[in-house]
Amino acid sequence: AGAGWAMPQLDAYGARLGSADTARLADEANRHTPELNAFDRRGRRIDRVDFHPAWHTLLGMYRNEGFVSLAFRDPRPGRWAATAAAFYLHGQIEAGTLCPATMTQAAIPVLQKEPALWELLRDKLYSDDYDPRDVPLAGKRSIWFGMGMTEKQGGSDVRANTTLASAVGAGGRGGEYLLRGHKWFFSAPMCDAHLVVARTEAGSPSCFYVPRWRPDGTKNAVEIQRLKNKVGNRSNSSSEIELNDAWGIMLGDEGRGIPTIIEMATYTRLNCVLGSAAMLRQGVVQAIAYTRQRHAFGRALAEQPLMRTVLADLALESEAALALAMRLADAFERDDSPRERAWKRIVTPAAKFWVCKRAVELTGEVMEVFGGNGYVDDGPIARLFREAPVNSIWEGSGNVMCVDVLRAVSREPDAAAALFAELTELGAGEPRIRAALDALRAMLAAPADTLEASARVFA
């Protein structure tokens, strides 16, 4: 809402994304996957990931439009709607390039709380210039951020992490540390820095700023072991890394690493919803276009009653996902209101669970619309199908999201009450919505174990 000022730019960007040239770039970026070069010719570690030029063109397009940092540097009303719309447009064409974009965006509010570090990084984070060079921070025009939480033994259970951070000097917030351990799923390792969760010697999970290059201009000890051979999201590099006394700075207070990184995850979860909504939209567009020109049994598929029902169902799912995602984006902009904070805290994980899960099923439905022509890698449908599960898994899988919804409702009853009040208003005159809300209220009275077992129903 309120983003009319961004429409000319969004229209132009959408037209560019929808061109045959951009579609070809997306195909090339996913066919020619990233390659790891861990050592130079003399055996020295360089830990460099090389990308096809199409990747750089697509990522540069998004950066140059200014949408990576728009929501935080532009005071105009509608900034979150404009940001969400751009993400939604780009995600319909190529999803992998949005991984470093969403992590960089989500790192900004965390870094803003660290005045000295923020002063150093602000202009490079806010820059719309695309600078892919692998050089120390001082020489960069713009920078990208990633996040590192997942370890082999823990997955979403970040408290089980074993990576150790040892203080150099006094330590504490803003202090220097050396990190030793590993990360099992470390996406976009060529980012200029990552926010990493590690335990201090006191045993407390804390959050650290870990740059790719140390302040003295030497390569930081973030060593890439291999790249993941993923089902989808092929254009983007995801890696396994080891930290061998990697230099970092503590962000936030010691022992508050999980709340710090979860703040970042709140923003990336919104983008998971937007990304899945984008895939749904692209699937609908492809299905409608195909059925209009594909004839069987004497007429176009789109003219056949049962196919029209399938297409209508797909379109309704797509529109509903977009409406929910944009409503959430509005809540992120207006989170000074208790009601909007309730949307942000409770509905974000619920929407991530539902919309991202539906994308998996519905891209399969789109593939079925194409029949055998969809089950080959010669067009966009197979890539869409392989891409769909990623948003259900990253930033917390389905069960994690559903339990998080229950946690938010139980720990923040005022927020839950505000949300139920709005949903009751929205459902006025619709008996099915009122009945669903009554059922949710009744579920909250169940014992904790029973409620958790039904968390997917509740979310």
Q: How confident is the model at residue 7 (pLDDT cuts 50, 70, 90)?
A: very high
Where exactly are the structural domains of the chain?
4-126, 144-255, 259-457
Interhelix angle 380-387/20-31, rounded to 10 degrees, is 60
299: DSSP letter: E
Q: Can you tell me the mean pLDDT for 242-266?
A: 95
Of 74-88, 93-107, 156-170, which range is least confident?
Answer: 156-170
Mean pLDDT of the chain: 96
- The region, left, alpha or beta by phi > 0 then psi within -120 to 50, assigned to residue 245 is left
Q: Can you tell me the mean pLDDT for 139-152?
A: 96
Paired strand residues for 68: none
Topology alike, domains 144-255 and 259-457: no
Which CATH architecture does the domain made up of 144-255 adopt? Beta Barrel (2.40)
Which CATH architecture does the domain made up of 259-457 adopt? Up-down Bundle (1.20)
pLDDT of residue 349: 97
For the segment 10-55, what is each residue's pLDDT rounded down to a tens digit? 999 999 999 999 999 999 999 999 999 999 999 999 999 999 999 9
pLDDT of residue 154: 74
- Under 8 Å CB-to-CB from 258, ≥6 apart: which residues? 158, 159, 197, 205
d(CA 257, CA 137) in angstroms, rounded, equals: 24
